[in-house]
């Protein structure tokens, strides 16, 4: 998931970029409204995270202009916290509205909720494996695997959606188990999944970092 972040507070902007990247979200951080608008129009992103007050200007007007041609999901992360502020944001077609100060866990949870809502449905393919995301069935050489658990399905689907990329251990744990997961739980599920796929080399371990599935 690629995020365009608009935040003119350099201390907070740096901290947000680090938080997002530590959790597996590729992030470009912008401090100026004009630059944000240019990047949003000329590059492809999965999510905008926007402060509203940028050098005494309100980024809601930038969002309204972008909404004429761009439907990328967006979150306001702002100190503007009145009901009228929030209603104004939703009228501008914001997808979520978070007020400062905020809990980082809540921000990450809301980002994942938007990612899940916008995740494309259908068939995912890698090598001889097909994943039917609507029926929640995995096929190997067109033969269904009958005994995958829900967590194993989520794990495989997430890795395949991010194929050819290294997915961080923390990102997998947060996505599948949230606060209830652990490294040992993840390792156990990876081991089980490899056995059920009958291909121990499909899911590669990137030592000290995470896991990867190559095309």
The pTM assigned to this predicted structure is 0.64
The predicted pLDDT at position 11 comes to 97
CATH of the domain spanning 123-213: 1.10.10.10
If you search the block for the tokens 């129009």, which residue do you land on? 41
Residue 150 φ then ψ, to 5°? -60, -40
**What CATH architecture does domain 2-117 belong to?**
3-Layer(aba) Sandwich (3.40)
Q: Residue 211: CB partners within 8 Å, gap ≥ 6?
A: 159, 166, 167, 169, 172, 190, 203, 204, 205
The predicted pLDDT at position 171 comes to 87
Asked if residue 46 lies in contact with residue 2, where contact means CB atoms within 8 angstroms, the answer is yes
Tokens, residue 99: 């007020």
Going from N- to C-terminal start, the domains of the chain cover: 2-117, 123-213
For residue 58, how many C-alpha atoms fall within 13 Å in the half-sphere facing its CB?
A: 9
As a whole number of angstroms, the distance between CA 46 and CA 21 comes to 14
The predicted pLDDT at position 133 comes to 87
Q: Which residues of the chain have pLDDT under 50?
A: none
| Cα dihedral 166/169/173/175 (nearest 10) | -20
As a whole number of angstroms, the distance between CA 86 and CA 90 comes to 6
The predicted pLDDT at position 120 comes to 66
The predicted pLDDT at position 163 comes to 87
């Amino acid at each position: 998931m690629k995020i365009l972040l608009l935040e003119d507070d350099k201390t907070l902007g740096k901290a947000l970029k680090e938080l997002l990247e530590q959790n597996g979200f590729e992030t470009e951080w912008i401090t100026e409204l004009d630059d944000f608008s240019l990047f949003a129009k000329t590059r492809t992103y999965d999510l905008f995270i926007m402060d509203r007050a940028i050098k005494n200007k309100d980024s809601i007007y930038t969002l309204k202009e972008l909404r004429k041609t761009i439907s990328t999901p967006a979150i306001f992360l702002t100190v503007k916290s009145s009901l009228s502020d929030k209603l104004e944001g939703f009228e501008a077609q914001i997808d979520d509205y978070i007020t400062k100060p905020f809990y980082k866990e809540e921000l990450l949870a809301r980002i994942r909720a938007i990612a899940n809502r916008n995740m494309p449905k259908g068939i995912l393919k890698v090598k001889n494996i097909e994943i039917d995301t609507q029926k929640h069935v995995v096929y190997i050489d067109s033969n269904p695997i009958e005994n995958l658990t829900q967590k194993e399905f989520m794990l495989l689907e997430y890795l395949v959606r991010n194929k050819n990329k290294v997915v961080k251990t923390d990102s997998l744990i947060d996505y599948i188990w949230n606060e209830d997961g652990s490294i040992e739980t993840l390792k156990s599920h990876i081991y089980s999944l490899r056995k059920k796929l009958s291909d121990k080399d499909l899911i590669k371990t990137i030592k000290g970092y995470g896991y990867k599935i190559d095309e």
